[in-house]
Chains A and B, each alone.
Chain A
Amino acid sequence: NAGVTQTPKFRVLKTGQSMTLLCAQDMNHEYMYWYRQDPGMGLRLIHYSVGEGTTAKGEVPDGYNVSRLKKQNFLLGLESAAPSQTSVYFCASSFIGTGELFFGEGSRLTVL
């Protein structure tokens, strides 16, 4: 089993460009999450999903959109990238909302 897989692993964007990060999990988990990690800040929740077709806002949702069209996939979109969105993005999944969290390897995004 691959667990949680994120693509791409690295990306450089110019201000104003758009992109999508893809997260795929093969553990049949109901819950999926997108976090961002900035130096000295820990991880902050951007958006999450409690099941196929559902999404909800986390702590820092502004500037991001998400979709969960299939249970195994959770997409994070940046419509118009800004330098403040330079960060490492982590996807995670869990079987239930209070369950053990499993993380992907992270995607490093730089916005120039």
Chain B
Amino acid sequence: GIQVEQSPPDLILQEGANSTLRCNFSDSVNNLQWFHQNPWGQLINLFYIPSGTKQNGRLSATTVATERYSLLYISSSQTTDSGVYFCAGGSTLGRLYFGRGTQLTVWP
């Protein structure tokens, strides 16, 4: 299967700071998604982004498919951004491989 590496594994920020999370893939993917798992365990889809750049409020994501990586940017972070961020990718219909996540803690 596809290996997915996420960095950093842990990130601690103060409110208002910006951050960049990275996801590397061992092989080409045509399906790439970012998720946020909040402290209550809910998984929310942030972006479906197999290539290019997308923005949603303070969050944006960029995928460079030819170099097999994706970046998630969080600007002006808030305490509600805390949780675990996962990226997942796949090339075979229905099979999506997840990274181990980045644990983000935002302090007030």
- State A79–B46 Cα separation when bound (angstroms): 35
A102–B42 touching, CB < 8 Å: no
- State A1–B100 Cα separation when bound (angstroms): 30
Q: Which of B57-65, B72-80, B90-98 is found at the contact surface with chain A?
A: B90-98
- Interface size of B by CB at 8 A reads 25
- B1-42 CB contact bits vs A (8 Å, 1 = yes)? 100100000000000000000000000001101010000011
- A23-36 CB contact bits vs B (8 Å, 1 = yes)? 00000000101010
- Which A residues are CB-close (under 8 A) to B42? 103, 105-106
Interface set of B (CB-CB < 8 Å, partner A): 1, 4, 30-31, 33, 35, 41-45, 48, 50, 86, 88, 90, 93-101
